[in-house]
Amino acid sequence: MKKLPFTGVAILFATTVILSSFTDKKNTLTNPPDEFEILVNFLETNNFINGVFPIIKADEVKKNMKNPNYHLIDIRTDSWFEYGHIKDATNVPAESLLNYFENKIIPADYEKIIVICYSGQSAAYYVSLLRIAGYHNVYSMKWGMSSWREDFAENSWLKNINNDYASKLETTLNAKPMEGDHPLINTGKLEVKDILNARLKTYFETPYKDHIVKSSDVFESPDNYFIINYNDLEKYTFGHIPTAVQYDPSTSFTSSSDLYTLPVDKKIVIYDATGQKAAYAVAYLNVLGYDVGNLAYGENSFMNNLMKEKGWDTFSKKEINMYPVIE
């Protein structure tokens, strides 16, 4: 797969904007240009938000360790990388990923590029940014190194799954807000590729920990956040964090659906079962200018046993393999 060329899409985008501005209620032809609307149109034209989450399991990585069409990138700290990593993985700091793709490798040479972290959450976040940048053959490894060997899991998933707030769930169907203002983006750029590059640069340089919110903070002060349950309706109605509103992972964050119901004056927290699908949405919405965080370890951080009973996506020791590492 090749990186999506900005120039061709930019031309297509400009034509689309001109034609749609006569009928669309949100005219993007403003002076100065509405950078938010420019980004939304560009990303939706390229079908970025489509409910598909490029997450692969450890067993696929293990089976393809000798496959030259697979390239592994480990974004953990150099100390953890030295402690143990998958053979032939390259250690790249998250803030250097974009430069690595642009200047160190030819991404189109690979069938799949897999980004690996501790839990799968930060890898998913940065894979989302890379896909927004046009690298459509990038994936995150589910559960991160926690699924590779038990000692990694003990430092990540196994010490963070619990059931502390399972008794505090609510089943109220909370309504989405009415459509309102969207974020104001002011990079000072005019071309879509320049606006997008400026936004991506900002979020590659921002540590992922700045986007993490703990479940204890959300349960103890839910009114401090606009809380999004990023699950289907069945899982939402079973029980969710108080005040949480359900947004469907397939369609909700498009301009023709519920994007404009998101608040611009409140911290947004998104959560799903594991935090890995949510991480993709968090990256996307941050690029669009919303203030969004990811709930650390998702629902597993507060209702792990209930999820096991329902057969939902939970972390347990059965997810841990004993695969070899380079030490």
- Reported as a single tens digit per residue, the pLDDT across 97-133 is 999 999 999 999 999 999 999 999 999 999 999 999 9
Give the largest CA-CA distance in the chain: 61
Rounded Cα gap, residues 155 and 153, in angstroms: 5
**Cα radius of gyration (the chain):** 20
Both tokens assigned to 240? 């969710």
Rounded Cα gap, residues 290 and 48, in angstroms: 17
Rounded Cα gap, residues 65 and 57, in angstroms: 13
Q: How far is CA 65 from the centre of its chain?
A: 25
Rounded Cα gap, residues 181 and 262, in angstroms: 9
pLDDT of residue 18: 35
Phi, psi of 146 (to 5 degrees): -60, -25
State which residues of the chain have pLDDT below 50.
1-29
pTM of this structure: 0.90
Rounded Cα gap, residues 122 and 113, in angstroms: 15
Rounded Cα gap, residues 279 and 298, in angstroms: 10
Phi, psi of 148 (to 5 degrees): -90, -40
SS3 sequence of 290-312: CCEEEECCHHHHCCHHHHHHHCC
Comparing CA positions, the residue from 205, 214, 249 lying closest to residue 51 is 249
Is residue 58 within 8 Å of residue 153, measured between CB atoms? no
